[in-house]
Amino acid sequence: MTRQLLTGNGAAAWGVRLADVDYVPVFPITPQTEIIETLANWADRGELDTRVVMLESEHSMLTAAGAASVTGVRVFTATSSQGLLYAMEMLYNVAGWRAPLVMVNVSRGLSAPITLESDHNDIVAARDSGFLQIFCATAQEVLDSVLIAYRLAEDKRVRLPVIVNLDGFTLSFTREPVEIPIAEAVRAFLPPFQAENIEFRASKPISQAVAVLGGSPYSYFRYEMHLAAQEALAVYDEIADEFAARFGRAHPAVEGYRANDAELLFLMTGAFATKAMDAVDRLRAAGTGIGLVRPRLMRPYPAEALRRWLCGKKAVAVIDQNISMGKGGVLHTEVCEALYGQPNAPLLASFIGGLGGRDIPAEEFYAIAEVLRAAVMAGRAPPPRLLYTETELREMRKLQAIAHVERRELGNAP
């Protein structure tokens, strides 16, 4: 085991290297490129016995990934944002093929307007695809999650593809100390891929991904996927326990930080949760009994674990880095569902922030805590809030003023 400074992207590449992956079809997109460049360079230098192939789009990339997976090799791929959406048809397809591949998504906001910076709307769009989803907050977690993801994807009781998600820029390009496990220890945890009977061989003809006629067989196969994904909840716990026993690092489906004795909670996914942890420490020092709950697993949805953390608390602020137009925060909706009808459910407040690389500074976490306290006093949940400061709005007005002046000078004023 060695300790190195790695970016989130570098940690993802190391996870792939240790997982003994056979095949990596790729297509570049910011901020994912460092992963595929690193893997391609390792393969070129002979440090990695992996075939890296550049496809002409993410749609083809994921098709090749799924096809190779159901031919019987271990496959990795990575994308981001528009790439994930361009591949979306094939996400649903390869999940239906029960191709047990692992894909890293480096989260980035969706167009329009086009941006390079991070939020979670891309991965949320893939929510119902059949890919299981693991959200990471640190570079170490990215490496570990890639290994855990292969075990989960390839488990006979599951056999579904897995997305390991990390935040663009804030995690993908941030260097953190990462423990790199030794290869033998990883091999003991993650044995070579067993394709079972899902493979193409001359002596064993097989038809895969065939059409169905009518709703009955269609429903059967779709229900099978759903049940397998639900089964993945218990399988995940098993694998995470084994990982913790072998490597000494716990990655539960839902993680709590100073949450046991807290009355109030922040609830969020991904790298910005580390900012919430810092805010928790400072608020605790100032006497506020607050903690953080961070789901790592979003599909399968760990409703029971969330209930264990949340029920009995006074109020919970769900901070979504995504926005469902006309509805609000997707995570908030899902947490509501887990708590519905629970006798000791907390008040639930919805905040949307951190879209397209917008920061959520410490002051906003303090303000959110204040809203929670007020909600507890009032005894009812506050209306949803879109985080945006007066200063930001003033800066935005300045940009608009410039745009208007420029337009007038060019004679295009409306």
Q: Order of strands, edge to edge, in the sheet holding 102-107?
A: 76-79, 102-107, 162-167, 132-135, 297-299
Residue 215 contacts other proteins per CB under 8 A = no
Strand partners, 317: 266, 349
Minimum CB–partner distance for residue 96 and other proteins (Å): 10
Residue number, 224 or 363, with CB nearest to other proteins: 224
Task: Answer yes or no: are the C-beta atoms of 104 and 146 closer than 8 Å.
Answer: yes
Strand partners, 79: 105
Identify the H or E element spanning 68.
helix 58-69
Binding residue (CB under 8 A) for other proteins from 1, 211, 325, 410: 211
Minimum CB–partner distance for residue 53 and other proteins (Å): 6
Residue 57 contacts other proteins per CB under 8 A = yes
Binding residue (CB under 8 A) for other proteins from 4, 30, 33, 55: 55
The sign one gets for the Cα dihedral 332, 142, 302, 308 is negative
Residue number, 185 or 220, with CB nearest to other proteins: 220
Residue number, 99 or 298, with CB nearest to other proteins: 99
Minimum CB–partner distance for residue 48 and other proteins (Å): 13
Residue 115 contacts other proteins per CB under 8 A = no
**C-alpha angle 238-147-132 in degrees, rounded to nearest 5:** 70
**Window 73 to 92, contacts with other proteins (CB under 8 A):** 73, 89-90
Minimum CB–partner distance for residue 98 and other proteins (Å): 13
- What count of residues does the chain have? 414
Binding residue (CB under 8 A) for other proteins from 67, 137, 162, 298: 67
Binding residue (CB under 8 A) for other proteins from 201, 327, 398, 404: 201
Residue indicated by tokens 């003023």: 401
Residue 1 contacts other proteins per CB under 8 A = no
Minimum CB–partner distance for residue 244 and other proteins (Å): 31
Using CB under 8 A, count the residues that bind other proteins: 41
Residue number, 214 or 414, with CB nearest to other proteins: 214
Minimum CB–partner distance for residue 408 and other proteins (Å): 42
Binding residue (CB under 8 A) for other proteins from 12, 39, 40, 70: 70
Minimum CB–partner distance for residue 204 and other proteins (Å): 8
**Window 31 to 50, contacts with other proteins (CB under 8 A):** 49
Residue number, 113 or 192, with CB nearest to other proteins: 192
Binding residue (CB under 8 A) for other proteins from 9, 32, 38, 69: 69
328: left (phi over 0), alpha (psi -120 to 50) or beta: left
The rounded distance, in Å, linking the Cα atoms of 132 and 125 is 13
Estimate the crossing angle of helix 88-96 against helix 58-69, to 10 degrees. Answer: 10
**Residue 255 DSSP label:** E
Task: Answer yes or no: are the C-beta atoms of 137 and 8 closer than 8 Å.
Answer: no
| Residue of 210, 143, 130 lying closest to 181 (CA atoms) | 143
Identify the H or E element spanning 266.
strand 264-267
Strand partners, 320: 352
Binding residue (CB under 8 A) for other proteins from 210, 399, 410, 413: 210
| Residue of 102, 112, 90, 106 lying closest to 152 (CA atoms) | 102
| Residue of 310, 324, 219, 302 lying closest to 265 (CA atoms) | 310
Residue 29 contacts other proteins per CB under 8 A = no
Binding residue (CB under 8 A) for other proteins from 15, 25, 83, 302: 25
Minimum CB–partner distance for residue 99 and other proteins (Å): 9
Task: Answer yes or no: are the C-beta atoms of 307 and 265 closer than 8 Å.
Answer: no
Minimum CB–partner distance for residue 239 and other proteins (Å): 24
Extract the tokens encoding 43: 């393969």
Binding residue (CB under 8 A) for other proteins from 202, 325, 410, 413: 202
**10 Å Cβ neighbour count for 286?**
10
The rounded distance, in Å, linking the Cα atoms of 310 and 337 is 12
- Given the rule CB under 8 A, which of 11-19, 51-59, 298-306, 394-402 is the region that contacts other proteins? 51-59
- Interaction site with other proteins (CB under 8 A): 22-23, 25, 49, 51, 53-57, 59-61, 63-73, 89-90, 93, 200-203, 205-213, 217
